Structure 1
Amino acid sequence: MSMKGLEMNKRMVVLGSQWGDEGKGKLVDLIANKVKYVVRFQGGHNAGHTLVIRGDKTVLHLIPSGILHDQVMAILAPGMVISPSALVKELDQLKQKGFEVENKLLISDQATLLLPYHVALDKAREKEKASQKIGTTQRGIGPAYEDKIARRGFKFGAVLYNQDIETDLKEVLDYHNFVLQNYYQAPAVSFDEIKQELDLIRNRLHSKITDTTSLLHQAIEENAAILFEGAQGTLLDIDHGTYPFVTSSHTIAGGVAVSCGISPNAIGEIIAVTKAYSTRVGSGPFPTELIDETGQFIQKQGNEFGATTGRPRRCGWFDMVMAKYSAKVNGFTGIALTKLDVLDGLPEIKICVAYQYKGEKRLTPPNHAVPLEQCEPIYETLPGWQQSTKGIVEWEQLPENAQKYIKRLETLVGVKIVLVSTGPDREDTLWLDKTICQM
């Protein structure tokens, strides 16, 4: 490998290839012991990354999963929208579990504040839409990004540097309260609620706010190992997902450069975290959804309930059409296949290899939600293995049919599978290519 190749491998992106909830937290946790920095580059506390360490479950919403490793410095990048109260709550919960991470966290001074009026707007909209709601987590993520794009948002740095921020905030609060009261007939948000968020920054978070963009530039020049941790999944990307049933940020690999302020050339490995089946939370098209006993079996075996909201996840077969689309959008260099053990016990397993749309066979998904909703999956059926794969860490120990399933997915998607997760714990990992963690 060339020197450039070695350097490029020092910067890795880990992101979801589906609709989120793929198990990104576990992979980040596995690789993070090799890196100096772990960076969350988009989203807010709508994400929920679940880690299971020695049987103990920890759910992180804002803080990067890799922070639990001693040598890691965690960064919340400019592309994020961050609720100060949610962040402080998460820090306190980690402290209660024995994890001292306050001195290992940096917040970009360009990250956008997520404030109580954003949450109020999110809840009011979902209530007003009723049956046609998008299915947001109602954490205020969308409204916070709207304010950012409309240039009425507030950056973390403004709390430190703008002496008139309270006056400016009152003006924006008046605007949002007018909408809440007159359009949604919802209660107004008090300025005291906003002031509490500012006080948390001034009293608790101020020392963590810094120029993370320049820090990352220097880290790249020094060839430091950096792991960029995505939230949600590719198919929820604001531009390249199943719009309008998407999140409000760029969840794809290209979002790393935009959200962190680094060159795309600085990114090396791009690892897709992909479930051995498909799930989706909330509304939106889902061609391979199973609304039968098999879907219920997968939901139960996989404990498919949202880490952030507790909502049951919709479950379905693996969708190769979407997987190939995701691979092309992101340029994946490897796949981490998760939750293989959930399929244990099924007599047969199906893979969607194409769609049927208005009598025609499609190998690519429509760009719009309406025609995607009308697509019928064309399946290839493989025999199941009907025995436990839980905790298996050697390829030879896998049932033959499980091996065939993994190889078939790899062939269909066209990207090598570098590891297989056979359970929730760190140890339940079968590595097929350990070079990805040699950072």
Structure 2
Amino acid sequence: MPAVVVVGGHWGDEGKGKIIDLLAGRFTYNVRYSGGANAGHTVVNHLGKFALHQIPSGVFHSGVKAMIGAGVVLNPATLIEEIDSIKSRGINLSNLHVSERAHLVMPYHLAIDKARDNCRGDRRIGTTGKGIGPAYTDKAARDGIRAGDMLDKDYFLSQVRANALIANQYLECVLNSPAIDVEELVFQASEWCAALSPLICDTEDLIRLALRRGEWVVLEGAQGTLLDLDCGSYPYVTSSLTTSGGACAYLGIPPKDISHVVVVMHAYMTRVGEGPFPTELNDDYGDYIRERGHEFGTTTGRPRRCGWFDAIASKYAAEINGATTIAITKLDVLDGLDKVRICVGYEYRGERISHFPARSQVLAECVPVYEELDGWETSTSEAKSWEELPEKAQDYVRRIEELLEVPVSIISVGPARNQTIVVKDPLD
């Protein structure tokens, strides 16, 4: 069986964790392929509620091998905390593995991340402050430290010390920020070796072997398509490739081995941090969606910006990911509204456009053109099938299908695993 990619279609926070948890029981491997501890995937199942930041969302299925792949930038300290937290709740993590090629996020990356964003002033990006950008910068500059380096402790500690000394020069002399304690970091790094070395292996080789054997592999993206370094609303993006193509690039998987791409989208739009957001609602509707949807960042706790569904941005995401199907989450959040809107175009300086602009300064000036539909003033959270959804809710989903030209196979009407309607098998 070729690989299946589950990727976010908006600016992140679309509910990928729930969809992965729903599907993962059918797979042998669940591989997280991008991002880092800046991502937060929430899973609610029979074991409780879990907020995952680096560990793949399918880890709760005992037969699934969970892997943190080469494209991830891994924070060793917070990974150890996350492992301990999950184990303390009785979850077996014996099937968790970390790629030798995954780069590490060090404490000096966090310090640089925060200091640099503060230096931007009005041009600040609003990063999570988790050190993701600086870690990817070191990776691209060939100055990074990889998880596999921990398998040779002496070499690893020498690299940590050398890189920390250079980072301190940058912090003090360029960013005018306090230096980190190098020897304290080296001591911490020694502890990381003991805790994480048993998990580290060549995960990418194992994935390719699994694909050759015909085993099912699900590849888990982080953040969302509109935050992709190249395809997103640059510069208000993350530092990695968040699309389905990123899975191939980061894991060394040929594109021909990907058979299905499930693009996950809210029934509305959200965004955390800075950047243009054409359908953003700074009114009672926006407050209603935020409160009903509990739209606060899993990683940062920051209130998410909320708005109507943007079919222009969403179709762009579906196209560049090669979406074979769409999963719509949080449809229930729109319950009770008398009217709902879908953005079907933009107006830019008096002209109608129907594409997602490459330049953020253009997107910032785009005025949404809306299509209004009747809302459904009743609950969807108890619906177990398509037929049980209110007719107006069905109309809303059908209209999204028409605009995106991709079928909707999964509809989430609540946070729990059993609050999910499978309209059709997403892997057919």
Shorter-chain TM-score range: over 0.9
Find the aligned partners of 1:63 and 1:237 in 2 and give their Cα distance.
20
CA distance in 2, matches of 1:113, 1:200: 14
Q: Which amino acid aligns with 2:84?
A: D
**1:42–1:231 Cα contact (<8 Å) kept:** yes
Q: 1:336 to 1:196 in 2, by over 3 A?
A: farther
Secondary structure of the residue aligned to 2:4 is: strand
Paired with 2:323 and 2:5, the residues of 1 have a C-alpha distance of 9
- The Cα offsets for residues 219-251 of structure 1, whole Å up to 9 and x where unpaired, read as 011011100011100000000000000000000
Q: State whether residues 161 and 186 of structure 2, in contact with CA within 8 Å, keep that contact through their aligned partners in structure 1.
A: no
> Contact (CA 8 Å) 1:38, 1:73: kept in 2 or not?
yes
- Aligned counterparts of 1:188 and 1:397: Cα–Cα separation in 2: 59
- The match for 2:73 is 81
Instruction: Tell me the distance in 1 between the aligned counterparts of 2:155 and 2:21.
Output: 41
**Alignment equivalent of 1:396, drawn from 366, 370, 387:** 387
- Residue of structure 1 aligned with 2:244, choices 249, 253, 275: 253
Residues 378-434 of structure 1 show CA distances to partners (whole Å, capped at 9, x for unaligned) of: 000001011111131111111111010010000011000001000000000111112
* Matches of 1:204 and 1:164, distance apart in 2: 17
Aligned counterparts of 2:155 and 2:426: Cα–Cα separation in 1: 51
Equivalent runs, 1:207-356 vs 2, <5 Å: 207-356=198-347
Question: Is 1:96 matched with 2:88?
Answer: yes
CA–CA separation in structure 1 for the residues paired with 2:337 and 2:47: 26
On the 8 A contact 2:325/2:426 being kept in 1, the answer is: no
Q: Which structure 2 residue ranges, 5 or more long, are not aligned?
A: none
Map Cα deviations across residues 41-93 of structure 1 (whole Å, 9 max, x no partner). Answer: 01111000001124832100000000110001111111111011111000011
**Whole-angstrom distance in 2 between the partners of 1:55 and 1:349:** 35
1:82/1:414 CA distance change after superposition, 3 Å: same
Aligned 8 A contact 1:85 1:200 in 2:
no
Taking structure 2 as the reference length, what is the TM-score of the superposition? 0.98
What SS class does the counterpart of residue 59 from structure 1 fall into? strand
Report the CA distance between 1:283 and its aligned residue: 0.2
Provide the rounded CA distance (Å) in 1 between the counterparts of 2:191 and 2:216: 31
Between the aligned partners of 1:139 and 1:107, the Cα distance in structure 2 is: 19
- The 8 Å contact of residues 149 and 155 in structure 2, kept in 1 or not, is answered as no
How much identity, in percent, do the aligned residues show?
45
Q: TM-score, normalised by structure 1?
A: 0.95
RMSD: 1.3
Structure 2 equivalent of residue 63 of structure 1: 55
C-alpha distance in structure 1 between counterparts of 2:84 and 2:63, whole Å: 20
Distance across 2 between alignment mates of 1:315 and 1:55: 30
Q: Please give the alpha-carbon distance, in whole angstroms, between the structure 1 residues aligned to 2:326 and 2:200.
A: 34
Deviating beyond 6 angstroms after TM superposition, the runs of 4 or more aligned structure 1 residues are none
Does structure 1 retain, via aligned residues, the 8 Å contact 2:225–2:317? Answer: yes
SS in 1 for 2:120: helix
Deviation at 1:435, TM superposition (A): 5.0
CA distance in 1, matches of 2:407, 2:120: 42
Residue 176 of structure 1: CA displacement?
A: 1.1
Question: Compared with structure 1, are the counterparts of its residues 27 and 308 closer, same or farther at alpha carbon in structure 2 (3 Å cutoff)?
Answer: same
Q: Distance in 1 between matches of 2:344 and 2:24?
A: 34
1:174, distance to aligned residue in structure 2 (A): 1.8
User: Structure 1 residue 281: deviation in Å?
Assistant: 0.3
User: CA separation of 1:348/1:196 partners in 2, compared to 1, >3 Å: closer, same or farther?
Assistant: farther
Local SS of the residue matching 1:406 = helix
Which of the residues 179, 183, 190 maps onto 1:192? 183
> How far is 1:208 from its partner?
0.9
May I ask how many residue pairs the two structures share in their alignment? Answer: 428
Q: Is the 8 A contact 2:262 2:426 kept in 1?
A: no
Aligned-partner Cα distance in 2 for 1:192–1:26: 41
- 1:108-257 equivalence runs, <5 A: 108-161=99-152, 163-257=154-248
Contact 1:156 1:209 in 2 (8 A): yes
- Take 2:127 and 2:403, find their aligned partners in 1: how far apart are those partners? 32
Conserved? CA contact 1:115–1:197, under 8 Å = no
Match of 1:4 in 2: none
**Alignment check: 8 A CA contact 1:117 1:176 kept:** yes
Given candidates 350, 353, 377, the residue that maps to 1:359 is 350
Which residue of 2 is the match for residue 372 of structure 1? 363
Q: Which amino acid counterpart does residue 211 of structure 1 have in structure 2?
A: D
